Amino acid sequence: DAGVTQSPTHLIKTRGQQVTLRCSPKSGHDTVSWYQQALGQGPQFIFQYYEEEERQRGNFPDRFSGHQFPNYSSELNVNALLLGDSALYLCASSAGQVHTEAFFGQGTRLTVV
């Protein structure tokens, strides 16, 4: 079991550009949640996908969007990147929408210059 895998591991982008991050959930999991974690802070909930629909959303602007595919994998897209978007982006998968135990990937470190 590969667990939750995220790609890429590191990424450097320029202000104003767009970025796509990818996540494959743990086998048997159908729910994917995305988090942003700034240095020295706890994760901030971005949104959750279940049955290919965004079910819940945190306090993030519309520049942050996502998608879930029929195989439960997911993408996080960020448009018009700002310096403040630099962070570790974490994907977590779980079975069903209710959080019992979330399994996290190793994250994608995004640096915006």
Partner 1 sequence: SQQGEEDPQALSIQEGENATMNCSYKTSINNLQWYRQNSGRGLVHLILIRSNEREKHSGRLRVTLDTSKKSSSLLITASRAADTASYFCAIEDSNYQLIWGAGTKLIIKP
d(CA 56, CA 49): 7
One-letter amino acid at 110 equals: L
Tell me the closest approach of the beta carbon of residue 26 to partner 1, in angstroms.
12
If one asks whether residue 73 binds partner 1 (CB under 8 A), the answer comes out as no
Report the residue from 1, 28, 39, 53 that binds partner 1 according to the rule CB under 8 A. 39
Helix, coil or strand: residue 40: coil
- Looking at the Cβ atoms of 78 and 87, the one nearer to partner 1 is 87
How far, in Å, are 18, 91, 101 from residue 77 at the CA level?
Answer: 7, 13, 25
- Looking at the Cβ atoms of 47 and 72, the one nearer to partner 1 is 47
Q: What is the largest CA-CA distance in the chain?
A: 38
**Contact residues for partner 1, defined by CB under 8 A:** 4, 33, 35, 37, 39-45, 56, 58, 88, 90, 92, 97-107
